[in-house]
A and B are shown apart, each in its own frame.
Chain A
């Protein structure tokens, strides 16, 4: 509760300091007042974070930075605002949360991001000046170019730190970098709106840019909150069969973690990984609808069980992809005399291999290498040998 009020207070302070900044800013260009107020706004907005699809938490200070750059008269002022703002933000954070692990590296990353943004913006303004390109069009082009470049810069840093760039293809890296565009675009849009309106409208630009952003911010936090609880729900539902005693304890969970590890190795996109995880968790949920419990334990893997599971999952159209993975999971990855079956996707093959491996280890109590051996022997039709190799690497056998 207290945390919530603190957050409201921070919002209020950001709005007030923006208002004060625009008021004082009209008195003297780049006075220390102004620099101090922009820095304060930056520091306070930095306390508010918004979750993004990549699960990075972007700081709202980005919007303040976008607004500040065109409002300040030279690069030195911009540098001063960013430096003071970020430093003050760290002091406030330390004061609120105590020491944060990895604070220095996030600080450096954020400072680099802001410096990159300032460089693009200031060079674009200089370029447009030289070309005598001004007005609405110039402002819009500047925002759009800065947005795209910043998105790629920050995305590249994020992807590099999280995954390393290793053997990922360039289109795949671009897909990863592009993931956070909605969040970043709303921050840039709000900041640029403030920056454009503030010289003429003064404090009116505060509600103009803050209210739409608040709407969007609320929408984001609702969405990501719902996404989290959805994941919780899937995990909870996946345990029904275990609670009922018709499925082996922990089978769904350990299959899911194996699948995630293999999926990462196979270079799957984070969204595909989520689907893969759900499919692994629910791959034999069909057991709960089998009326005879002895039957449901016996049919540990069968086409029928896959169909039953897919039918339960498919009730939610949102999970159509997951239902398809589960339905195809029992299909042989190739037929005799034919090549690999394109109908059976990578995710289905991974679930098949991981689920069988987990069963061999826990139900038949085989040693890791023996279990892998069984899978190798079944590689003609049932278990995709490439996936089996990846599994072998994952379990270190």
Chain B
């Protein structure tokens, strides 16, 4: 039995009550559109709403907005608000929420969808011309576009407010994100108005025709989204294989991806740019799969040959994945994760001796080094977060980009999460403890990499 959060219950209840009150009130002032088209609209809305595809793409608003607006135009003043409100109410009853007992979502969605639909239809009712004719098409389309923007604004405001109030999370969605939704809502609304007018003028035959086109497009978009996910899952499978081979890196990839996201968000990366860093983090160590495991697990000092071979992993990722088109931009980032801010270090195409690596590679380098220090390695135990951050700051400007280090610190402060050991303050202490601790699997007194210690760099092998 999950813990009942009174705050969430209250907010969800408030939303649901407002939605229900709106429907009850509309039932007094409007009549219900008792036509054969209503169930078709309702089915289309429910389908597109339940099957909403999440693709990181601003082009594609869900066709469900279009369906609401088409219905509003077809029903017209006196029926539009009630007709679309009931459609929205049906759409809110999502079986996935019921199955997972997400009562809050269910209640909040109900209110949010109903109120958005009422807003959209109300604006349509206000601005729709007295009669729909080929001559008034522009006005109809504009009315519907206005309605769609109204729908979108109410919808997103209620979502943001709901999450902020109920989950007490402030940085859920920047308000500026709303601007991104307006163009696609405008297009969908415009199209909805056109379709509505066409249905009135030409006949209901146009509805199934356009729905078929959208349905097929929606199916493909859904398959596309699933395939994108599959690509990442497949790469994750190989990362897991790496972890099986080198247990010390267990969870490393995922944590590096997480820290890069923290830094990226803090530095103002968005959408596709942020995604690129995440994928680069997921593949940054894949090259290690091509490195013999005994070397990966070696606890003692590496010979020069071994060190060279170990360095290969940074550009090996390009050798392995170089032919995969969509990964190319990420490969450069991934292959530069051992490239230093001042142009030293090593790597593949993302590293040019003496030149500053790309910003994404700098983000990844900080995330990678931070996780390497705060987790236990064959050659030493985990260090504390405080020590790791101090070390990063110490090397900021030479090995690491100072902005990225600052961003990581700020982000960690904001999340309040703590990584690494709670007691070990320094590499030296860590080594001493490691030497004494017999239970510790990898008692490795040697410094990380022979060559690197001379100039005091915080090198990590991963």
- A binding-site residues for B, Cβ under 8 Å: 135-137, 139-140, 143, 182-183, 185-186, 189-190, 192-193, 196-197, 200-202, 204-205, 207-209, 211-213, 215-220, 222-223, 226-230, 232-237, 239-240, 243-244, 285-286, 288-293, 311-319
Of B143-151, B224-232, B423-431, the stretch lying at the interface with chain A is B224-232
- A244 to B233 alpha-carbon distance, docked (Å): 22
Q: Does B191 contact A208, Cβ atoms closer than 8 Å?
A: yes
- A200 to B133 alpha-carbon distance, docked (Å): 9
Question: Could you tell me the distance in whole angstroms from the C-beta of B328 to the nearest C-beta in chain A?
Answer: 10
Is there a chain A Cβ closer than 8 Å to B268's Cβ?
Answer: no
| In-complex Cβ contact of A312 among B213, B238, B286 (8 A) | B238
Q: Does B323 contact A235, Cβ atoms closer than 8 Å?
A: yes
Q: Does B203 contact A319, Cβ atoms closer than 8 Å?
A: no
Tally chain B residues at the interface, Cβ within 8 Å. 67
Q: Does A197 contact B198, Cβ atoms closer than 8 Å?
A: yes
- A319 to B226 alpha-carbon distance, docked (Å): 11
- B binding-site residues for A, Cβ under 8 Å: 59-60, 63, 134, 137, 187, 190-191, 194-195, 197-198, 201-206, 208-210, 212-214, 216-221, 223-224, 226-231, 233-238, 240-242, 244-245, 286, 289-294, 297, 316, 319-327
| In-complex Cβ contact of B240 among A139, A205, A230, A312 (8 A) | A312
- Looking at B231, B291, B322, the one whose CB has the most chain A CB atoms below 10 A away is B231
Q: Does A182 contact B219, Cβ atoms closer than 8 Å?
A: yes
Given A218-B59, A219-B221, A223-B223, the answer on whether A196 and B319 have CB atoms closer than 8 Å is no
CB closest residue in chain A, given B327: A233
Q: Does A143 contact B320, Cβ atoms closer than 8 Å?
A: no
Q: Does B234 contact A185, Cβ atoms closer than 8 Å?
A: no
CB closest residue in chain A, given B219: A182
Q: Does A291 contact B293, Cβ atoms closer than 8 Å?
A: yes
Q: Does B134 contact A204, Cβ atoms closer than 8 Å?
A: yes
Q: Does A189 contact B209, Cβ atoms closer than 8 Å?
A: yes
| 27 A-B residue pairs with CB within 8 Å | A136-B203, A140-B208, A186-B213, A190-B209, A197-B202, A207-B191, A207-B194, A208-B191, A219-B224, A220-B217, A222-B221, A223-B223, A226-B228, A229-B231, A229-B327, A233-B321, A288-B241, A288-B290, A289-B245, A292-B294, A293-B294, A312-B241, A315-B236, A315-B240, A318-B230, A318-B234, A319-B230
Question: Could you tell me the distance in whole angstroms from the C-beta of A98 to the nearest C-beta in chain B?
Answer: 26
Question: Could you tell me the distance in whole angstroms from the C-beta of B320 to the nearest C-beta in chain A?
Answer: 6
Q: Does A237 contact B234, Cβ atoms closer than 8 Å?
A: yes
Given A215-B214, A229-B231, A236-B320, the answer on whether A143 and B209 have CB atoms closer than 8 Å is yes
- Looking at B187, B209, B227, B231, the one whose CB has the most chain A CB atoms below 10 A away is B209
CB closest residue in chain B, given A220: B220
Q: Does A316 contact B234, Cβ atoms closer than 8 Å?
A: yes
CB closest residue in chain B, given A193: B209
Question: Could you tell me the distance in whole angstroms from the C-beta of B323 to the nearest C-beta in chain A?
Answer: 5
A-B pairs with beta carbons under 8 A, tally: 210
- A319 to B238 alpha-carbon distance, docked (Å): 13
Question: Could you tell me the distance in whole angstroms from the C-beta of B94 to the nearest C-beta in chain A?
Answer: 21
Q: Classify the secondary structure of A's interface with B.
A: helix
Q: Does B290 contact A240, Cβ atoms closer than 8 Å?
A: yes
Question: Could you tell me the distance in whole angstroms from the C-beta of A270 to the nearest C-beta in chain B?
Answer: 16
Q: Does B194 contact A204, Cβ atoms closer than 8 Å?
A: yes
Residues of A within 8 A of B236 (CB): 315-316
Residues of A within 8 A of B187 (CB): 211
- A140 to B210 alpha-carbon distance, docked (Å): 12
- A183 to B197 alpha-carbon distance, docked (Å): 27
Residues of B within 8 A of A183 (CB): 216
CB closest residue in chain A, given B321: A236
- A290 to B297 alpha-carbon distance, docked (Å): 13
Q: Does A219 contact B210, Cβ atoms closer than 8 Å?
A: no
Q: Does B217 contact A219, Cβ atoms closer than 8 Å?
A: yes
CB closest residue in chain A, given B240: A315
- A331 to B63 alpha-carbon distance, docked (Å): 48
Residues of A within 8 A of B290 (CB): 240, 243-244, 288
Q: Does A201 contact B137, Cβ atoms closer than 8 Å?
A: yes
CB closest residue in chain B, given A288: B289
Residues of A within 8 A of B59 (CB): 218
Given A236-B322, A318-B230, A318-B234, the answer on whether A200 and B201 have CB atoms closer than 8 Å is yes
CB closest residue in chain A, given B295: A293
- A230 to B224 alpha-carbon distance, docked (Å): 11
